[in-house]
Amino acid sequence: MSDIVSVRREGDVAVVTIDNPPVNALSLRMRQPLYAALEALGTDDGVKAIVIACAGATFVAGADITEFGTSKALERPNLPDLCTLLEDTAKPVVAAIHGTALGGGLELALACHFRVAVPSARLGLPEVKLGLLPGSGGTARLPRVVGPEKALKMIVSGNPIGAAEALKSELVDAIAEGDLVADAVKFAAAKAAEGKPLVRIRDRDEKLAPVRENTQGFEGLIAEVTRKARGLEAPIAAAAAVRNAIEMPFDAALKAERDSFIHLVQGDQSRAQRHLFFAEREATKVAGVGKDVQPRPVKRTGVIGAGTMGGGIAMSLANGGIPVTILEMTDEALERGLGTISKNYSVSVDRGSISAEERDARLGRINGTTDYADLADCDLVIEAVFEEMPIKKEVFGKLDAIAKPGAVLATNTSYLDVNEIAAATSRPADVIGMHFFSPANVMRLLEIVRGEKTAPDVIATALDAGRRMKKVPVVVGVCHGFVGNRMLSSRSAELESLLLEGATPEEIDKAFLDFGWPMGPFQMGDLAGLDIGWRTRKSLGKTAVIGDALCEMGRFGQKTGKGFYLYEDGSRKPKPDPEVNKLIEDKARELGVNRRTIPAEEIIERTLYPMVNEGAKILEEKIAQRPSDIDIVWTNGYGFPIGKGGPMFWADLEGLPKVVERLEHWHGKTGNDVFKPAASLKQLAATGGSFSARPA
């Protein structure tokens, strides 16, 4: 008995209760008493069956991630020891599952003879999201229970399934309709009374045999995993482990799985993904917004503008169960916007990602108006009109006149001064930036921009709304472009220089793809529309030799069939265009730039190191609260590869002295100030410091 693991008797059934808040993770201090309790109960003749249950919000939600990479994770008893002990117990052991049985928690449950769950329980093996694979039998046991194809999908996606689906696929044996522990005790007593031989999952083969005989479907799935892995090791290792479960004897598969886990847990990719797991949770802790600051209630919302952004924001709100009224200037624009939303939802129904009923429910939460007065009782209004200060000010002036007292007034501006927008109202404390990323209903990042006068409970309200929309909110300060777009612009000039100096758009894009980005910067530009950047540059009095020339030729990207690439017959597949290469060569000649072959390493250094440098300046100016917030912005809003943990974590992996040395090198060569190392970056490099708060 300990504080964390306690045992009580219900007749001749022993109930073992784990109480290790917040999520009953399998830390060493929990494993030790659990092992001791189970060992004692196994030899106690008065005990006929055992139930393992958890106190608090959830069943065991996994290994203790903070222990990974430390000696505690390796100390015995480890989770495989616990699983072996459970599986070999000569009396029925039943896992009683509520909340989430995840990772090591599900592995523990799979080593039990039976599983009983409440209807709201969720079960899964999310290790791949941490750059790992299940390391305590998950890949060997789950395929034996639910079949290899379903197991592969669950393990490689990391997504949990609900209790009903788990019952259907035999992952749970019964759903508890009443009190979970009481039902599990009844179930365990009945199994003990039956006295049938206990079947260990390790000895089951009935779902493996058919796939062993016909591997085509399974191998097809493995090929798909490999294709989609994009440089990540974990999904490929996980898929290989499931194949081992089919092909190898159980113990050999178990050993191979453990070896693979140990290899991955020591690697940079898993370190990076674990960093992001904690970073995402850390990002919601905002200075000056303590737990005592309550969000304002948000029951009704408004969105101003039914364009691409406004429509996507309205969908996000509706998806989060929040009713929304969209305001447009004309009936036609409103109809067009609502039509697009309706079409987008129908595409989701056709793809099977939501049901027709769900679509109707979401659409039912969206209505439209052309009259500002209809926004008068909204608790939160998000403006998504043109990125021009006079227009924004006019909109906020009108909002100020009609919005009810206490309503939160948010702007979706991607770079304008939120303080200036707030000053157009009589209530700057209620004004905040809520910067969504396109497509707003898909992208998870939400930059919340706190103005000089924004009230703490307004920040709390934006954070809460973000969570309800299932976004990843990060609070940032006011500056041109905030965190994301400011860092993005620090690399744009170098992209142009690299083109002029001899790299082709496809060479640069390939260097980015090889780095792990989903898309290169020129493919991205063509997708977003080159005219957007052109318009912004013009408003700022800036130029880009190649980008501007392409726009002057009417080459706006995919929407005009031509941009940095050629898109034939409405295809989205970029084809290199000799006309663009000639344009670049001509411009280089005009400017007297010598052309040469540029290695991929140089492309990465000259585009991504300036971003790290800008990130350091952003931290100096306190625009971002911590380096890991910047990593969350970049991995969730711009596709920075998760296996590298975001730009600041990646800089640590590169080594800060190297980053500073190369920045100084390029600063000397190009004179471009984006390379001039920030004082704080130099200081960190010189003192052996690092950006990552938790270099586990």
By the criterion CB under 6 A, which residues form the site for ligand COA?
22-23, 25, 58, 61-66, 100, 102-104, 126-127, 130, 278, 281
Q: How far is the CB of 222 from ligand COA (least distance, A)?
A: 22
The three-point CA angle 658-525-467 to 5° equals 80
Cα 409 to chain center, whole Å? 27
Q: Which residue lies nearer to ligand COA by CB, 103 or 310?
A: 103
Q: Which residue lies nearer to ligand COA by CB, 151 or 551?
A: 151
Q: How far is the CB of 261 from ligand COA (least distance, A)?
A: 9
Q: Which residue lies nearer to ligand COA by CB, 100 or 454?
A: 100
Annotated catalytic residue: which of 67, 127, 233, 447?
A: 127
- Residue by residue, DSSP assigns 248-281 as S-HHHHHHHHHHHHHHHHTSHHHHHHHHHHHHHH
Helix, strand and coil percent figures for the chain, each rounded to 5: 55, 10, 35
Q: How far is the CB of 604 from ligand COA (least distance, A)?
A: 30
Q: How far apart are CA 444 and CA 473, in angstroms?
A: 8
Q: How far apart are CA 683 and CA 696, in angstroms?
A: 22
Q: How far is the CB of 134 from ligand COA (least distance, A)?
A: 7
Question: Do β-strands 301-304 and 324-327 pair in parallel, antiparallel, or remain unpaired?
Answer: parallel
Q: How far apart are CA 25 and CA 57, in angstroms?
A: 12
165 is catalytic: no
DSSP code at position 516? T
Q: Which residue lies nearer to ligand COA by CB, 22 or 46?
A: 22
Place of tokens 């050629």: 566
Cα 610 to chain center, whole Å? 24
Annotated catalytic residue: which of 107, 257, 494, 507?
A: 107
Q: How far apart are CA 281 and CA 184, in angstroms?
A: 33
Q: How far is CA 668 from CA 665, 671, 677, in A?
A: 5, 6, 11
- Residue by residue, DSSP assigns 542-603 as ---HHHHHHHHTT--BGGGTBSSEE-GGG----EE-HHHHHHHHHHHHHHTPPP----HHHH
Q: Which residue lies nearer to ligand COA by CB, 160 or 547?
A: 160
Q: Which residue lies nearer to ligand COA by CB, 9 or 281?
A: 281
- Main-chain dihedrals φ then ψ at residue 443, nearest 5 degrees: -70, 135
- Residue by residue, DSSP assigns 195-230 as -PPPPPGGG--TTTHHHHH--HHHHHHHHHHHHH-T
The CA dihedral of 67, 72, 75, 80, to the nearest 10 degrees, is -10
Length of the chain: 696
**Spatial CA neighbour of 491 closest among 349, 375, 640, 390:** 640
Q: Which residue lies nearer to ligand COA by CB, 66 or 683?
A: 66
107 is catalytic: yes
Q: How far is the CB of 160 from ligand COA (least distance, A)?
A: 8
Cβ-based burial of 347 (10 A; exposed 0-12, middle 13-18, buried ≥19): exposed
Helix axes 250-265, 233-247, angle to 10 degrees: 170
Q: How far is the CB of 691 from ligand COA (least distance, A)?
A: 19
Q: Which residue lies nearer to ligand COA by CB, 134 or 312?
A: 134
3-state secondary structure of 633: helix
Residue 594's contacts (CB-CB under 8 Å, 6 or more residues apart) are: 501
Q: Which residue lies nearer to ligand COA by CB, 100 or 628?
A: 100
Q: What amino acid is encoded at 152 in this protein?
A: L
Q: How far is the CB of 127 from ligand COA (least distance, A)?
A: 5
Q: How far is the CB of 545 from ligand COA (least distance, A)?
A: 47
Q: How far apart are CA 681 and CA 679, in angstroms?
A: 5
Q: Which residue lies nearer to ligand COA by CB, 235 or 302?
A: 235
Q: Which residue lies nearer to ligand COA by CB, 92 or 126?
A: 126
Q: How far is the CB of 158 from ligand COA (least distance, A)?
A: 8
Q: How far is the CB of 100 from ligand COA (least distance, A)?
A: 5
Gyration radius from the chain CA atoms? 28
| Structure tokens belonging to residue 23 | 């999520």
> In 88-137, where does DSSP find H-type helix?
104-111
Q: How far is the CB of 314 from ligand COA (least distance, A)?
A: 26
Looking at the annotation, which residues are catalytic?
107, 127
